[in-house]
Amino acid sequence: MKRVLVTGGSGFIGRPLCQLLSDKGYQVRVSGRHPKAAAFTEKMDYRHIPDLGPDTDWEDALQDIDCVVHLAARVHVMRETDPDPAAAFDKVNVAGSQNLALQAAKAGVRRLVFLSTVKVNGEMTTTRPFTEDDPAFPLDAYAISKYKAEQALMTISNETGLDVVIIRPPLVYGPGVKGNFKSLIRIANSGLPLPLASVHNKRSLIYVGNLCHAIERTIGHEKAKNQIFLVSDRNDLSTPDLIRCIVSASARPERLFRFPQAVLSLFASLGGQKAKADRLLGSLQVNSDKIHRLLDWTPPYNVVQGMEQTVRANPETHG
């Protein structure tokens, strides 16, 4: 399967994925909302798709394509402004994905790789990491829409014969990362003492370069057909270990001190920041043994390499 359409190809994950696929000899077609001048090499064929929804016309973009990697989505919104977030997520992530899959099947596409999220499994782990066999437990509108999209795609696969591969990554970091992870880099490198040395959680992460390699492995591997995969760097970190990794990559001193975790949680709840505190203090681990066992996939980058690339590419967070 050498002719690949990557939706959302101009994004944080899409750009390095398209470059990797091109370097490996794939014929890459990119769809995105930005103008063609948004920058791809001459080896890639760009299609402008302004909106993703139930009425999007994919006919031109799907012509002569073997595999679709579907990255485009309405992602988690930190400051939601839509009066009906659930409907907004469903329109793009559920109906939009259904529409793409049906048109892909009609066009003769053999496989669709769908980037979902670990949030389909849940927001937190306690006694053990999530596995692909665990029941889904999505809690917010974004995660629910991704789970509904997974179910819809599997139904379409059963009805049309289109191969579907679902990948559920945890937090993805790398050059160009935004949101909470970028804020964490800035805070870690601020020089301020941080009361997190007593936190003993574990969180799975995945470097964007590792995620791109995992996606590439699923494109043509026969054993990936109609499978769900949890992926990670296979090196889970506590929050203080993550901060140590960040400051080490920035050549900054570590400034962590001990403070009772229960008190931190209480202060966060009283300040209306419980969700942020849960991400900082709680555990969320995935077991990625399945993709390692079934597809013989091992992350090519370790967390130190990934963090160095991430910090180096975000100079404003450590300058």
Structural domains in the chain, CATH included, are 3-168 (3.40.50.720)
Contact criterion met (CB below 8 Å) for 144 and 136: no
Q: How far apart are CA 47 and CA 56, in angstroms?
A: 13
Q: How far apart are CA 282 and CA 272, in angstroms?
A: 16
Contact criterion met (CB below 8 Å) for 5 and 61: yes
Q: How far apart are CA 187 and CA 181, in angstroms?
A: 10
Long-range CB contacts (within 8 A, 24+) of 278-283: 278/123, 278/124, 279/180, 280/196, 280/199, 280/239, 281/199, 281/201, 281/239, 282/123, 282/124, 282/201, 283/124, 283/125, 283/126, 283/201, 283/202, 283/203
Query: Directed axis angle between helix 96-106 and helix 141-160, to 10°?
Result: 20
Q: How far apart are CA 46 and CA 9, in angstroms?
A: 9
Contact criterion met (CB below 8 Å) for 28 and 18: yes
Q: Is 315 exposed, middle or buried (0-12, 13-18, 19+ CB in 10 A)?
A: exposed
| Residue carrying structure tokens 């399945």 | 290
Distances (CA, A) of 202 to 188, 280, 287, 308: 18, 10, 12, 21
Q: What is the pLDDT of residue 41?
A: 55
Catalytic entry in 26, 142, 147, 301: 142
The torsion of the CA quartet 21, 293, 201, 177, rounded to 10 degrees, works out to 0
Helix residue spans in the chain (DSSP H): 14-23, 59-62, 85-89, 96-106, 141-160, 179-188, 208-220, 239-249, 261-270, 274-281, 289-295, 303-312
Contact criterion met (CB below 8 Å) for 237 and 304: no
234: nearest Cα among 279, 191, 187, 170: 170
Q: Are strands 171-173 and 67-70 parallel, antiparallel or unpaired?
A: unpaired
CB atoms within 10 A of CB 25: 9
Q: How far apart are CA 196 and CA 209, in angstroms?
A: 28
Concerning whether 142 is annotated as a catalytic residue, the answer is yes
Distances (CA, A) of 79 to 146, 153, 179, 275, 276: 19, 29, 11, 14, 13
Per-residue pLDDT of the chain (319 residues; tens, 9 = 90+): 699 999 999 899 999 999 999 999 999 999 988 765 445 656 678 888 888 999 999 999 999 999 999 999 988 765 666 778 889 999 999 999 999 999 999 999 999 999 999 999 999 999 999 999 999 999 999 999 999 999 999 999 999 999 999 999 999 999 989 888 888 898 888 888 888 888 899 999 999 999 999 999 999 999 999 999 999 999 999 999 999 999 898 888 888 878 777 777 776 676 667 777 777 888 999 999 999 999 999 999 999 999 999 988 876 554 4
Q: What is the pLDDT of residue 319?
A: 47
C-alpha dihedral sign at 220, 225, 228, 234: negative
